[in-house]
């Protein structure tokens, strides 16, 4: 495959590609394949011009949800609205949506022009108009020099651009992406991810993107919908999903490195003015601020969660601090810009981010501080976030 074509960011003429208003609303959507309930009662509001990602592990129902949006899969229950219209039973071509598939689904025997023009030819758009629209999209995505090339003569990145061009030429109200980056090698994947992000910033078209890659979701999305077993676990702005995960599943799925979690007993008493967390190996205590005086009393088995950037590490003694514990460095992972340490105490482990020039060695004894306002607590039984 040729890798010679530049992957410089495509500059799109915004004026010509300004999409119309396109808000998508999914209400109680469900899909069963015989006994398999692939999607169960999913409701989402996708704002006009937003980039929304459906995120979750393999088999959680992301593609089925996207296919129902596209009209490629009949819904078992529920409704899909585009702006003010109920489009649940509309045919795919009536919906004004364009899908970019994982395998690009390009026609290998056709050249790039033929691939981009195909849908317009099918819709009997006049020849001169078709040529004009294809040229315009090809220019936007820097494919002009490749229009006569066969698909088999293109690199993976170029094929991905043709797939994008084929969607763009339809001037859709909504773009649907089904894991479009998953067939690319790591370096190209990162570059094409930036391409899609820039394209969205320039086009501003409502987009729904499916991926199992949380990093991709964080980088691309305005809003993330985290799915598990056909259900929506959390939907909200990407930053909220990261900062305020509503379930331990979301907390540990989103973020790299993974959020550290430790089981223990949490006790909050407004009367004592303290909050305590204890298990056999770790005992922590935080004073409650005055405004916490009204805090709901809690006496529960929980999982304490903390992100690597929020746990603080020091090689000095613990002093009088009651929100620290001493642990042993089990793993040092230098990434160049940052270093991650895994610090263990008994069966528990916390990952923390430190400056790379600290040069901590494995087996060092260090103190970990868990600042109260950086902590997350999840009910040990249900996994649901406790709002303290």
Residue 180 lies near ligand ATP (rule: CB under 6 A): no
Residue 33 lies near ligand ATP (rule: CB under 6 A): yes
CA 144 – CA 163 distance, rounded (Å): 14
| Phi, psi angle pair for 369, to nearest 5° | -110, 135
Smaller CB separation from ligand ATP, 235 or 378: 235
Stretch that binds ligand ATP, among 62-70, 93-101, 131-139, 346-354 (CB under 6 A): 62-70
Shortest Cβ 228–ligand ATP spacing (Å): 10
368, β-bridge pairs: 313, 325
Report which DSSP code applies to 60.
S
Structure token pair of residue 154? 């293109």
Report which DSSP code applies to 385.
B
Cis peptide, bond prior to residue 242, ω within 30 of zero? no
Residue 78 lies near ligand ATP (rule: CB under 6 A): no
Which contiguous run of DSSP H or E holds residue 130? helix 127-140
Site size with ligand ATP, rule: CB under 6 A:
12
Q: What angle do CA 294, 279, 283 make, to 5 degrees?
A: 65
Contact with ligand ATP (CB under 6 A) among 53, 64, 130, 339:
64
CA 52 – CA 205 distance, rounded (Å): 11
Residue 58 lies near ligand ATP (rule: CB under 6 A): yes
Residue 228 lies near ligand ATP (rule: CB under 6 A): no
Shortest Cβ 110–ligand ATP spacing (Å): 27
Smaller CB separation from ligand ATP, 73 or 342: 73
Residue 56 lies near ligand ATP (rule: CB under 6 A): yes
Shortest Cβ 76–ligand ATP spacing (Å): 12
Smaller CB separation from ligand ATP, 63 or 352: 63
Shortest Cβ 225–ligand ATP spacing (Å): 12
Smaller CB separation from ligand ATP, 215 or 272: 215
Residue 60 lies near ligand ATP (rule: CB under 6 A): yes
CA 159 – CA 152 distance, rounded (Å): 9
Residue 247 lies near ligand ATP (rule: CB under 6 A): no
Smaller CB separation from ligand ATP, 66 or 141: 66
Inter-CA distances, 306 with 206, 252, 259, Å? 34, 10, 6
| SS3 of residue 81 by DSSP | strand
Contact (Cβ atoms closer than 8 angstroms) between residue 67 and residue 176 = no
Query: How buried is residue 140: exposed, middle or buried, by Cβ count under 10 Å (0-12/13-18/19+)?
Result: buried
Shortest Cβ 296–ligand ATP spacing (Å): 37
Shortest Cβ 182–ligand ATP spacing (Å): 9
Smaller CB separation from ligand ATP, 35 or 319: 35
Structure token pair of residue 235? 């939907």
Shortest Cβ 63–ligand ATP spacing (Å): 3
Report which DSSP code applies to 150.
B
Shortest Cβ 95–ligand ATP spacing (Å): 19
CA 279 – CA 176 distance, rounded (Å): 47
Structure token pair of residue 208? 């729904």
To the nearest 10°, the Cα dihedral for 23, 27, 32, 35? 150
Residue 38 lies near ligand ATP (rule: CB under 6 A): yes
Stretch that binds ligand ATP, among 54-62, 197-205, 286-294, 309-317 (CB under 6 A): 54-62
Contact with ligand ATP (CB under 6 A) among 29, 53, 61, 196:
61
Smaller CB separation from ligand ATP, 29 or 137: 29
CA 120 – CA 125 distance, rounded (Å): 5
- CA 370, 376, 379, 382 dihedral sign is negative
Contact with ligand ATP (CB under 6 A) among 95, 166, 212, 353:
212
Shortest Cβ 274–ligand ATP spacing (Å): 44
Shortest Cβ 339–ligand ATP spacing (Å): 33
Cα Rg, the chain, nearest whole Å: 25
Residues in contact with ligand ATP by CB under 6 A are 33, 36, 38, 56, 58-64, 212
């Amino acid at each position: 495959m040729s890798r010679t074509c530049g992957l410089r960011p495509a500059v799109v003429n915004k004026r010509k590609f300004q999409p119309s208003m396109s808000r998508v609303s999914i209400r109680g959507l469900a899909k069963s394949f015989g006994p398999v309930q692939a999607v169960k009662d999913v409701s989402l509001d996708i704002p006009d011009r937003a980039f929304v990602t459906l995120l979750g592990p393999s088999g959680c129902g992301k593609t089925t949800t996207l296919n129902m949006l596209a009209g490629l899969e009949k819904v078992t229950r529920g409704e899909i609205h585009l702006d003010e219209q109920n489009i649940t039973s509309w045919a795919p071509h009536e919906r004004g949506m364009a899908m970019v598939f994982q395998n690009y689904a390009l026609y290998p025997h056709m050249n790039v022009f033929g691939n981009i023009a195909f849908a317009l030819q099918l819709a009997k758009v006049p020849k001169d108009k078709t040529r004009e629209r294809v040229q315009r999209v090809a220019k936007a995505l820097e494919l002009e020099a490749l229009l006569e090339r066969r698909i088999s003569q293109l690199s993976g990145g170029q094929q991905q651009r043709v797939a994008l061009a084929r969607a763009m030429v339809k001037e859709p109200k909504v773009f649907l992406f089904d894991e479009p980056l998953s067939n690319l090698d790591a370096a190209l994947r990162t570059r094409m991810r930036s391409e899609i992000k820039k394209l969205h910033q320039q086009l501003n078209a409502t987009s729904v993107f499916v991926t199992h890659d949380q990093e991709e979701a964080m980088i691309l999305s305005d809003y993330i919908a985290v799915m598990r077993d056909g259900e929506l676990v959390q939907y909200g702005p990407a930053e909220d999903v990261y900062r305020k995960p509503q379930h331990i599943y979301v907390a540990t799925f989103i973020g790299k490195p993974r959020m550290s979690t430790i089981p223990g007993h949490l006790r909050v008493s407004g009367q004592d003015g303290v909050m305590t967390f204890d298990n056999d190996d770790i005992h922590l205590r935080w004073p409650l601020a005055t405004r916490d005086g009204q805090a709901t009393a809690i006496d529960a088995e929980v999982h304490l969660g903390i992100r690597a950037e929020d746990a603080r590490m020091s090689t000095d003694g613990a002093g009088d601090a009651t929100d620290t514990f001493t642990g042993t460095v089990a793993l040092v992972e230098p990434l160049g810009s940052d270093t991650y340490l895994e610090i263990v105490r008994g069966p528990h482990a916390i990952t923390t981010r430190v400056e790379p020039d600290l040069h901590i060695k494995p087996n060092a004894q260090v103190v970990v501080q868990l600042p109260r306002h950086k902590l997350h607590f999840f009910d040990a039984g249900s996994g649901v976030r406790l709002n303290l």
